[in-house]
Structure 1
Amino acid sequence: MAFATLNKAEIVQAHARGANDTGSPEVQVALLTARINELTPHFKANPKDHHGRRGLLKMVNSRKRLLAYLKDRDLPRYAALIQKLGLRK
């Protein structure tokens, strides 16, 4: 199921570094986090959906790689993003 366009636009606007920024690690991590949070209840209700779970794990690993990249490149931006999204409590 596709992400709601309006919700996606809000997320991009909230995390963008510039006017037309959709590819920065912050935006990508925020979008992946929103998708992961949206799918989590589905897998609690449907524990045997293994094919869908594979997609979820791919998203989680993609977010993990983006966060590692951001941590290596710019630690203050990484810390701000983690704080803003509520990851790593």
Structure 2
Amino acid sequence: MALDSAKKLEIIKQFGRGEGDTGSPEVQVALLTERIKYLTDHLKENKKDHSSRLGLLKLVGQRKRLLRYLKRKNYESYTKLISALGIRDK
């Protein structure tokens, strides 16, 4: 299930660099994190839902690539983002 638009707008306002910023890595990582949290809870209840598990793994990989890019380009923003989202650093 996709995020509802109100939650999505709230995340965009919180992590966006400016008004209407949806493409920055910070916003993309925050949106992916919310979807990952939702799918994780879903899979705790539905253990045999293998297609959702595959989707979760793809989302985690995409978030990992975006975080690696952000860490390389803007380390300060990276550290603020992972602390705000509660993501572990290697």
TM bucket (normalised to shorter chain) is over 0.9
- Cα shift at 1:2: 2.2
TM-score by length of 1: 0.95
Letter of the 2:69 counterpart? Y
Q: For structure 1, which runs of at least 5 residues remain unmatched after alignment?
A: none
Alignment of 1:1-89 (within 5 A): 1-88=1-88
Q: Counterparts of 1:28 and 1:2 in 2: how far apart (Å)?
A: 14
Identity %: 56
Structure 1 runs of 4+ aligned residues shifted over 3 Å read none
CA RMSD of aligned residues (A): 1.0
Number of aligned residue pairs: give it: 89
Which deviations, in whole Å up to 9, do the C-alpha atoms of 1:18-68 show, x marking residues without a partner? 112110000000000011111111101111111111001000000000000
How many Å separate the matches in 2 of 1:10 and 1:64? 22
**TM-score (norm. length: structure 2):** 0.94
> Alignment partner of 2:78: what SS?
helix
